A and B are shown apart, each in its own frame.
Chain A
Amino acid sequence: MNMRWTVGLGCGLVGAIGWISAADAAEQITFVSQGGAYQQAQTVAILDPSAKKLGITINQDSIPDAWPAIKTQVGSGKPIWDVVDTPTGYCLRGGEQGLIEKLDFSKIPNAAAMPEAYRSPYSVSYEFYSSVLAYSQKTFPKDAPNSWADFWDVKKFPGRRALRNHPIATLEAALMADGVAPDKLYPLDVDRAFKKLEEIKPNITVWWTSGAQSAQLLNDGEVDMEMAWNGRVSAVAKEGAKVTFTYNQGILQSTSLCILKGAPNLETAVKFINEAVDPLHQANLPLNIDYGPGNPKAFETSVIKPERAAQLPSEPANAAKQALMSYAWWSSPSGEAAEKRWAAFMQK
């Protein structure tokens, strides 16, 4: 037998094993977000720079709706993921159900410096988006709808309408249409909100279920006005469609970072979270996509130019015009009951 062969093979094997254990030794985490252009923007702005700075490997995964997977992974006792970027409500709900690790903010100084409304015991705001009133400038060249009361006013603003097929943000919009001030929404008066929704229901052409669908409706002129996420509307506008939106009475929402209970790389995950909400990385995010930084300190860096800041949902002046969503209310029993009531409302 050829000796060199055996030695070579042996070395190769040892090398491979060494490589595997080296990768094990070098710190790594699995980070999960929602995919698409959004995850790519993060990779450029936050993930790659963080990995480089911390000297860790960030394995990425993506899933549109992380909640069922969080439940299954933690339920199985051996989660694969470490950090998820998911709507803040899931982090809170997960925290209450023992699916999400409690965060030690002494190890996350960047988050500790953020306003209290931007974090919870289980999560840190990662980025902001807004559910805004968007409309076609073809249908409304001037005298455009500027508030949810206008959206509900089918006589003054005739046209086809769409809302999201989900109670979150939609109930808030209904209450604002009924005259509730954006900063006095919580706890939501659910009965009043559904009553107001019954009023507009016959005039809703489509109850959309995905962001892509909402963009398509606006782009194709299928509806004249709708509630949509700001990033979706600006993307459609950038492609040349005559559409725009107002931040007035928008509902400011966020996704947050949180860690799965029993995550395989807990310590590195905590380090990563601190790095990910670093003002500088955060300031880079809106240069790549139309979402606002989760850490408001990002606006104090000189990275975001004032013209760009003015377009972002979490820019202080824009934020002041909007209602800040209370995820704590939505994950409370009344919030969950409101969510269950939605199905009955839709099918009536």
Chain B
Amino acid sequence: MTTSVPDPSQKHQRREHGLMLALVSPALLVILALIVLPVGWLAWQSVYHDGFTLENYRRVFTEDIYWRSFALTFEISFAVTVIALLLGYPVAYLANSVPKGCSILILSLVVLPFWTSVLVRAYAWLALLQRTGVINQFLRYLDVISEPLALVHNTLGTVVATVHILLPFMVLPLYATMQKIPGDLMQAGASLGASPSMTFFRVFLPLSLPGMLAGCTMVFVLCLGFYITPELLGGGRTVMVSMLVSRNVELYNQFGAASAVAVVLLLSVLAIFFIVSRFISLDRVLGQK
């Protein structure tokens, strides 16, 4: 027969839970007040304007310009993610394989641009890429080109600057994952006769996959909402979704039209996180463990 004597450890645990709840409640309140409520209000506005209406969504899903913008945004985000991965992987790999002092140096070089405003970096790229910019001047000086290249005021300029800004979000999760791969595994592979490239591709690369997925998700999702680089370096033709949001406020004189765009973008981001979560624990993406 079981007795109903309360287990003291259970009681203790409940007290601890209560304490934890009390400790996190300020943070929860802040999140509720600053994120949940505004986002809810945003969603509400998108369907309510003098009565319930789906007009804003009808526009988003039927008018060509929205499709074009969403398609372009996903294309740019994809390109930025692939380039950031190709550039970031070797950097993370190098930082992982050199002595601690060197790796700190490499990582601080990666993080350093973080301390400069995105706006300043976008303008810096303008100085480099424009017709009279450093790159075109240099190439013309070398006689490689006779006419300046169109490096900016288009999608290319947008992608270049966005990759630069988002690169740390790729390198850091990659590095964190690589740090956790035991070096013995590579030695074991080598001792079994595998060449260095084979141990890399068969052992190291698969083990770094979670880091790749985490980095790619971060970069892709952040890129979806980018505003400054397409606005300054896109030449007016590169209209990403975030720019539609601001334009709609102006065009339709009501926030609902803009909210609908924002809600669709938010849902796409959530969908991406959902799909990613089927493959990898979200803790790893967000916590970069």
Contacts and interface: CB of A to CB of B under 8 A. Distances in A.
A163 to B, nearest CB: 9
B239 A347 contact: yes
Interface string B66-104: 001100000000000000000000000000000000000
Interface string B53-75: 00000000001110011000000
A165 B130 contact: no
Given A339-B251, A343-B247, A343-B251, A206 B236 contact: yes
A36 interface: no
Interface in A66-100: 67-68, 71, 93, 97
- Residue among A208, A216, A340, A347 facing the most chain B CB atoms (10 A cut-off): A347
Contact of A67 (B236, B239, B250): B250
A202 to B, nearest CB: 11
Nearest to B63: A344
Contacts of A209: 231, 236
Given A205-B153, A213-B232, A347-B65, A220 B239 contact: no
B237 interface: yes
A207 B132 contact: no
Interface residues of B, number: 25
Contacts of A213: 232
B237 A346 contact: yes
Nearest to B68: A347
Contacts of A205: 150, 153, 235
Contacts of B65: 343-344, 347
A181 to B, nearest CB: 29
B116 interface: no
Contacts of A340: 251
Contacts of A207: 235-237
Nearest to A207: B236
A347 B231 CA distance: 14
Contacts of B164: none
Interface in B105-124: none
Contacts of A339: 251
Contacts of B130: 220, 222
A142 B213 CA distance: 59
A222 B253 contact: no
A221 interface: yes
Nearest to B239: A347
Given A206-B153, A207-B235, A207-B237, 14 more contacts: A67-B253, A71-B254, A205-B235, A220-B130, A221-B131, A221-B132, A222-B131, A222-B153, A340-B251, A343-B65, A343-B247, A343-B251, A346-B237, A347-B65
17 contacts: A65-B250, A67-B250, A93-B253, A160-B131, A165-B236, A205-B153, A205-B235, A206-B153, A207-B236, A209-B231, A216-B126, A222-B131, A222-B132, A340-B251, A344-B64, A344-B65, A346-B236
Interface of B: 63-65, 68-69, 126, 130-132, 150, 153, 231-232, 235-237, 239, 244, 247, 249-251, 253-255
Interface of A: 65, 67-68, 71, 93, 97, 160, 165, 205-209, 213, 216, 220-222, 339-340, 343-344, 346-347
